[in-house]
Each structure stands twice: as structure tokens, then as C-alpha cells.
Chains A and B, each alone.
Chain A
Amino acid sequence: MKRACTIASYCSIRGNKVILDDKLLYKGPEDHFSDFASGVYKHFSVSYPKFHKMDNLGKLGFLAAEILLKGRDIINKYPADKTGIMLMNSSSSLDTDRNHQRTISNSNDYFPSPAVFVYTLPNVVIGEICIRHKFYGEGNFFIMEKFNPSFMVNYISQLFDNDIVDCCITGWVEIDGDNFESVLFLIEKSSRTETGIANFEPATIESIYNRK
């Protein structure tokens, strides 16, 4: 079956490596995610002071989107309200939930922080990417035990088939303790992408996801 959309590009950030369309762009020596994220931020010369305010899930999704979208001029290629983001993960915002809990667990040191609490919702990373790239379209965050390529392809395909999006950033953004993994895909309307890297099928998505 001919799909209305194509995988234009993908970016993975995991195992201290940043890969864009099978090319290794960065490998960091850092032990902790926050240091690694700062390394990636510097390496790719990102200039966005708000980055430092984000929680780890926010940083992970933001950086993957930053590298995925660099030089693609999505905002001029598609209507802003037809560019959507659909992300998935396994542990929601639990990483930051634990941080918020630490600010309230001791009644003698009880200082809940709004800057932490706001990130106790997984979809805030979608907001961060939308603010950065001026996307006004669909936003969905789903939680599931493991990355599910079939669900992703089914869900995103109907968004394209029903003309709800022309372009979509989708994928897996997971962080739980020291484990982190982000694999984001840029999906575009087939009629607008001559240079797609692969068909948008569960098998291709799965094989890209497994290329570690």
C-alpha cells in the first residue's frame, strides 16, 4: 500500500552517541546525562538559553529535534498548524517526578519549585519543541512499556491520510535514572519529499530503532 508519508530523516541519541541518518555525529565521554547533554549542546553550537532550564526529558527531546530539523526549514515548507509532534515513552516524567518529590519529602526543607514541577508532565517536551520551532499543530504523548513501531505507523498514517498534518516529528524519548534513549523521526508528506530515506512502515521503523 502506498503511504501518504515518508521518513525524511531520523536522529538517535543514546549510548552517548548522536546519530543522524546513520551518520555518527558525536560521541561523548560523559558519565551523566546532564553532562552529556551539555556536551551535545556545545558540539552542535546550539544557542538557546532556555535549554539550561529544561529537565532531562526536555533536553533529550529538544536536542534530538534540534539536530533532526537543522537546515530543513520546516517552518517555511509547511503550514505551522499542520506540523505535529507525537512522542512516546515508558516512564513518563518519572525522572523529574522524583526530583519534585525530593523538594517536599522533608517538612523542615519544604520548598517545592515551580521550575521543577512544570516538568512533571511528559508532554511539556512537546511544548518546548513547538516553542523553539514555532509549530502549532497536533501534539500527542503516549506512554507504553516498549517502543511500538506498529502503533506509531498506524497513528501517524491516519493523521496524514485525514489531512491533519503535512509534517510530523515522532518517536521515542525515554529517560529513567541513568538510562536514556531518544529516536526521533521526521515524517513528511510523500508528495513534498523527494529525498526521503525510507518508506514509513513498521518494519523500517523497527530496523532503524534497532540500529544501535
Chain B
Amino acid sequence: MEQLVQKLKEEIITALNLSEMKPENIDEKAPLFVDGLGLDSIDALELTVLLEKKYGLKINTSEEGKKVLLSVNSMAEFIRENKKG
């Protein structure tokens, strides 16, 4: 799980072009969309593309999206629960 969280942080930085951030600057427990990283609606959509592209996981409703994209931890949890194999 820790490994996944670390990997996810790196993938988020690349996918969202957060060039001035390092993985250790991202608190995996902190909300992604309130202040913190200053993410916006395009970033949210981009994170759903990331989950689909790297993990083959689709987010189907915006309610589900809000839950999954809450924090790095919630994203990791979603991947762990749904990823086959």
C-alpha cells in the first residue's frame, strides 16, 4: 500500500504537471481539492483519465468521483479494492 501511495504521488505530479511539487510535499491523507494542491475541475477529470489509463479503472458517477478523488489514500484504496490480479 505504501508503495502504491508513493507511485501514485509521482503519477499525479506528472499527470497534472505539478512541476514545483515533490512526492514528499503531498500529504496522502489531506484533501486533494481543498486548498492543498490548488487543483481544479480539469485536474479532477485528468485524475479520472489517470485511473483509467494506468489502472484500467473507470469512475462512473460524479458521486463516486468525489469519494475516490478525496485524497491520495482514497485513490490508492479504490485501486487496491478494484484492481484485478
Contacts and interface: CB of A to CB of B under 8 A. Distances in A.
A85 to B, nearest CB: 21
A111 B42 contact: no
A113 interface: yes
B52 A111 contact: yes
Interface residues of B, number: 13
B38 interface: yes
Given A111-B49, A111-B52, A114-B49, A49 B18 contact: yes
A104 interface: no
A52 B19 CA distance: 7
A58 to B, nearest CB: 12
Interface in A93-146: 111-115, 118
A115 B52 contact: no
Contacts, number: 28
The interface residues of chain A, by DSSP majority, are classed as helix
A111 B53 CA distance: 7
Interface residues of A, number: 10
A49 B49 contact: no
A115 B18 contact: no
A52 B21 CA distance: 11
Nearest to B53: A111
Nearest to B37: A49
B16 interface: yes
Given A111-B52, A111-B53, A53 B45 contact: no
A49 B20 contact: yes
Contacts of B38: 49-50
A192 to B, nearest CB: 35
Interface string B30-57: 0000000010001101100100110000
Nearest to A118: B42
A113 B17 CA distance: 13
Contacts of B42: 114-115, 118
A207 B17 CA distance: 38
B18 to A, nearest CB: 7
A111 B17 CA distance: 17
28 contacts: A49-B18, A49-B19, A49-B20, A49-B38, A50-B38, A52-B17, A52-B18, A52-B19, A52-B20, A53-B16, A53-B17, A111-B49, A111-B52, A111-B53, A112-B49, A113-B46, A113-B49, A114-B42, A114-B45, A114-B46, A114-B49, A115-B16, A115-B17, A115-B42, A115-B43, A115-B45, A115-B46, A118-B42
User: Which 5 residue pairs across A and B have the least CB separation, nearest first?
Assistant: A52-B19, A114-B45, A52-B17, A53-B17, A111-B53
Given A53-B17, A111-B53, 11 more contacts: A49-B19, A52-B18, A52-B20, A111-B52, A112-B49, A113-B46, A113-B49, A114-B49, A115-B17, A115-B42, A115-B43
